[in-house]
Chains A and B, each alone.
Chain A
Amino acid sequence: MKIKEDYLLRNVAGSHIVVPVGEGNLDFSGVITLNDVGAFLWERLQSDTTPEELLSALLAEYDVKSDVAKKDIDDFIVKLKGADLLAD
């Protein structure tokens, strides 16, 4: 599981901003804003990973209960799929 190529995540004045880049991506003109957890997960999803790896990374970084973290990850993946942002 991996985020599609040609998206750029950048911190702009404290906000996590994702914008499309690359010639093949001109039809999408939006901007995605992420919260801290979203940006953390996005960074990990720039290389191939699994929901299990995301969970252990999130638990290592944030003081959060396992079931809450798992739900955050599931929700995030559903959103990414809905927006067609995942490769394969």
Chain B
Amino acid sequence: MAKLRVAQLNVEVEYKHPTMIKQAEPYKADFERPNIRVSISDESMERMKEENPHLNEDELEYIFTGAGFYEALLEFNGFMLHSSGVCMDGYAYLFSADPGTGKSTHTGLWQQYFGKDRALIINDDKPAIRLVDDVLYAYGTPWSGKTDKNLNMRVPIGAIVFIERSTDNRIREITPNEAVPLIMGQTIRPAQQDKMIKLLDVLDTLLRRVKVYRLGCDMSFDAVKTSYEAIRVREGQ
């Protein structure tokens, strides 16, 4: 069992394949008691191989240790949002969408436009979100999808943006009524009622405090300017 510190939680994870060994390295920590234990039994690995014949053991271990962590995260005022998270001037902006829409492309454009030292990718695919000491944070985790872009850091959330491809660039703020189904479509939905209540309670706090937007965008710097100007947190407001 490796000991990792992820999203301010002590996590014991059992893994042996190269992707997890590499991804987990920056999160290694020491602690006495774990908050979360994640392991995949030989039996479930065999079953997952049968269910996902196009994936090898390395990929399955990476995906399902992540799934185990994110499900457990629901017990700690947290959840995963399928999104690419960029940290800019002390706030995290999370761009969420279905796979293939271009969320990584959009945050990659932020890095090109503002510079890689100013716009940091916290997690390119699955940042953890937690309410800790009454602040909503986005966290880097070892599980960042197909890219290895993640940073072991926590950043207060500035905004959440759902993106769709468009020929022009436009953005509008949306209501919690419109945001809830979008968020529920981009997280792991717990089947158990107690976990669902915990998820909805975090969403309640999140949507009361954090602005959510819909962005239609192309792949130009104009898209970056459109989103940044609309969503950036202006201190003192």
Interface residues, chain A, with chain B CB atoms under 8 Å away: 8, 10-15, 17, 19, 21-23, 25-26, 29-31, 33
Contacts and interface: CB of A to CB of B under 8 A. Distances in A.
A8 B177 contact: no
B44 interface: no
B33 interface: no
A15 B191 contact: no
A13 B1 CA distance: 40
Given A21-B192, A22-B193, A23-B191, A12 B207 contact: yes
B196 A12 contact: no
Contacts, number: 53
Contacts of B207: 12-13, 15
Contact of B204 (A12, A21, A25, A33): A12
> Interface size class for chain B?
20 to 34
Nearest to B206: A13
A22 B203 CA distance: 20
B173 to A, nearest CB: 13
Nearest to B189: A29
A40 B64 CA distance: 40
Nearest to B199: A19
Interface of B: 175-177, 180-181, 184-185, 189-193, 196-197, 200, 203-204, 206-208
B193 A21 contact: yes
B191 A33 contact: no
A23 B189 CA distance: 11
A78 B175 CA distance: 27
Contacts of A15: 175-177, 180, 207
Contact of A26 (B176, B177, B191, B200): B191
A12 B203 CA distance: 7
26 contacts: A8-B200, A10-B197, A10-B204, A11-B204, A12-B176, A12-B200, A12-B207, A13-B176, A13-B203, A13-B207, A15-B177, A15-B180, A15-B207, A19-B189, A19-B196, A19-B200, A21-B190, A21-B191, A23-B191, A25-B191, A26-B191, A29-B189, A30-B181, A31-B180, A31-B181, A31-B185
Contacts of B189: 19, 29
